[in-house]
């Protein structure tokens, strides 16, 4: 096994001096509530979605609010004449104007009829048409399927009493929201099979069409995958209905078994899975997988399938239960999902396989550092960059996934496995259905483990770690 030797910043941090924290502190996010009700009809030519979205927002912030800010992920595809065309906006029953911000109109501003103060409620309805892009992104369509994620305007999170203006990047995730309750009605041609977030609560057939109704609470988003070719298998674990939607029954059976094992493993390790259903949908996505609340897209097959299903299932905790801003610090949840997958693999395939994965990850990242040093004079690459500031998708993936995984592995080595596991569980329960930052993670671990982790986090985040192979 490789010997992991870290920088002087890491070594100096492991001292007997205790930090004084009264508790594992939560960050400053208004505890407002959001409830979405969305009705959508997929046109017969399956290229257009007609939608009405209603949002009821109860506001509990300190300062008054005169407007709402939404993120329109779908408008990232406007270069291809796709995306959202808003027909009308109503605020508390009165039609209001709206404005779009950003190069592609991904930010939608809606003025309020009356200012919101602490405890006030606003009711907003947006009627719009979505033209689906052709391709393999998380929103798009191919001959086999339709992927609906980021398909409705999402109210931006609030942090430090300000709307978070979400910045899209050419790589990585940009979907970021506070938890909300959802009721969704979708009308599709009868021959379509639908995989979704949430529980299906009704089915209504009318002629050649069928309308499904779904519900899910405390969800970061609501996503669907639709195909006429899906074969579906289901099973139950700890009261959770788990379904796999695949193009071949063999794939669906394997995915279902992996999802059942992973959901049970992470529920025991961190906290109970928060929803009554969980679905794994096979897609032609241009990545191994993608997570949403209660639903994941998976394109992997064969030997990669178990790891990808485990990784995306881990995101039900590190994205779903504990939220974070993926455009600001993607490593926070991606690295933790990678580390959690390591733990699952150690349980599923044994410690020898787990250690080999860690060793291979160190070797891969050491090679990257060596190339980086020859090109720029620096070795380790900082994790503090926003997603859009990475120089390439390769650099983004290397730092977010590989280095992110190694960071948590090192944190475990410093803390000791037993203490690390307990601290991670505390982090999960402290920020349950909330949004966390790297600072929150550091303070939570420092308080629980009674170790000053400041230098550890600084070294890893700022690219001051020295990796050596012995």
* Predicted confidence band of residue 11 (pLDDT cuts 50, 70, 90): very low
Q: Which fold has domain 33-331?
A: Immunoglobulin-like (2.60.40)
Look up residue 357 and give its DSSP letter: H
Q: Looking at 28-37, 62-71, 106-115, which range is the least confident one?
A: 28-37
Mean pLDDT of 345-356: 97
Please report, rounded to a whole number, the percentage of residues in the chain having pLDDT higher than 90: 85
Give the integer Cα–Cα distance in Å for 188 and 230: 15
Per-residue pLDDT, 218: 97
Rounded CA-CA distance 177/180 in Å is 8
Where are the chain's structural domains? 8-27+332-462, 33-331
Q: What is the DSSP letter of 129?
A: E
Distance CA 91, CA 88 (A): 10
User: Is the pLDDT at 415 greater than 50, yes or no?
Assistant: yes
- In this prediction, residues 310-325 reach a mean pLDDT of 98
- Give residue for tokens 């788990």: 242
Q: Give the percent of the chain with pLDDT over 70.
A: 93
Domains 8-27+332-462 and 33-331 share a fold: no
* Mean pLDDT, rounded, for 70-83: 90
**C-alpha pair distances (Å), 172 with each of 86, 143, 291, 314:** 26, 25, 12, 17
Largest CA distance in the chain: 72
For 296-323, what is the mean pLDDT?
A: 97
pLDDT in tens, 188-217: 999 999 999 999 999 999 999 999 999 999
> What is the pLDDT confidence band of residue 13, given thresholds at 50, 70 and 90?
very low
Q: Would you say residue 20 has pLDDT above 70? A: no
Express each pLDDT in 114-163 by its tens digit. Answer: 999 999 999 999 999 999 999 999 999 999 999 999 999 999 999 888 99
Q: What is the mean pLDDT of the chain?
A: 91
Q: What is the pLDDT of residue 379?
A: 83
pLDDT score recorded for residue 21: 34
Q: Higher model confidence: residue 26 or residue 324?
A: 324
Report whether pLDDT(16) > 50: no
Buried b (16+ CB within 10 A) or exposed e, 309-348: bbbbbbbbbbbbbbbbbbbbbbbbbbbbbbbbbbbbbbeb
d(CA 55, CA 253): 37
1 exposure class (CB count in 10 Å sphere: 0-12, 13-18, 19+): exposed
Domain 8-27+332-462 has CATH 1.10.390.10: yes
pLDDT of 249-303, one tens digit each?
A: 999 999 999 999 999 999 999 999 999 999 999 999 999 999 999 999 999 999 9
Q: Are 359 and 5 in contact (CB under 8 A)?
A: no
Within 10 angstroms of residue 170's Cβ, the number of other Cβ atoms is 11
Confidence of residue 23 (pLDDT cuts 50, 70, 90): very low
Whole-model pTM above 0.85? yes
Phi then psi dihedrals of residue 102, to 5 deg: 90, 165
Helices 438-449 and 404-415: crossing angle in degrees, nearest 10, is: 20
The 10s digit of each residue's pLDDT in 419-459 is: 999 999 999 999 999 999 999 999 999 999 999 999 999 99
Q: How far apart are CA 243 and CA 278, in angstroms?
A: 6
Q: pLDDT at position 4, please?
A: 45
């Amino acid at each position: 096994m490789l010997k992991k030797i870290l920088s002087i910043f890491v070594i100096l941090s492991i001292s007997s001096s205790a930090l004084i924290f009264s508790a594992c502190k939560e960050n400053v996010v208004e505890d407002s509530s959001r409830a979405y009700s969305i009705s959508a009809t997929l046109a017969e030519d399956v290229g257009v979605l007609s939608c009405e979205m209603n949002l009821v927002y109860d506001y509990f912030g300190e300062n008054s609010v005169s407007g709402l800010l939404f993120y329109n992920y779908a408008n990232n595809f406007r270069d291809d004449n796709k995306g959202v065309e808003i027909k009308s906006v109503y605020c508390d029953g009165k039609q209001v104007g709206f404005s779009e911000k950003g190069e592609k109109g991904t930010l939608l501003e809606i003025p309020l009829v009356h200012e919101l103060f602490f405890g006030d409620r606003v009711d907003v309805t947006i009627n719009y048409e979505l033209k689906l892009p052709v391709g393999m992104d998380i929103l798009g369509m191919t001959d086999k399927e339709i992927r609906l994620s980021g398909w409705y305007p999402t109210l931006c999170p609030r942090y430090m009493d300000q709307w978070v203006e979400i910045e899209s990047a050419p790589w990585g995730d940009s979907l970021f929201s506070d938890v909300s309750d959802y009721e969704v009605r979708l009308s599709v041609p009868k021959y379509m099979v639908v995989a979704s977030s949430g529980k299906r609560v009704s089915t209504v057939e009318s002629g050649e069409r069928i309308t499904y109704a779904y519900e899910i609470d405390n969800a970061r988003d609501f996503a669907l995958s639709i195909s006429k070719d899906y074969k579906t298998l289901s099973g139950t674990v700890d009261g959770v209905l788990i379904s796999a939607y695949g193009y071949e029954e063999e794939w669906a059976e394997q995915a279902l078994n992996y999802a059942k094992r992973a959901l049970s493993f992470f529920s025991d390790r961190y906290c109970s899975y928060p929803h009554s259903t969980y679905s794994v949908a096979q897609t032609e996505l241009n990545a191994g997988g993608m997570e949403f609340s209660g639903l994941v897209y998976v394109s992997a097959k064969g030997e990669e399938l178990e790891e990808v299903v485990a990784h995306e299932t881990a995101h039900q905790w590190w994205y779903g239960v504990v939220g974070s801003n993926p455009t600001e610090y993607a490593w926070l949840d991606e690295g933790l999902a990678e580390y959690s997958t390591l733990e699952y693999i150690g349980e599923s395939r044994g410690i020898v396989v787990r250690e080999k994965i860690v060793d291979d990850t160190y070797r891969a990242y050491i090679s990257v550092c060596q190339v980086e040093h020859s090109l720029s004079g620096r070795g380790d690459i900082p994790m503090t960059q926003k997603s859009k500031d990475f120089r390439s998708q390769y650099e983004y993936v290397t730092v977010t996934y590989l280095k992110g995984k190694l960071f948590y592995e090192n944190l475990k080595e410093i803390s000791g496995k037993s203490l690390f596991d307990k601290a991670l569980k505390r982090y999960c329960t402290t920020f349950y259905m909330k949004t966390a930052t790297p600072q929150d993670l550091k303070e939570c671990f420092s308080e629980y483990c009674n170790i000053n982790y400041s230098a550890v986090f600084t070294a890893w985040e700022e690219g001051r770690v020295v990796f050596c192979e012995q």
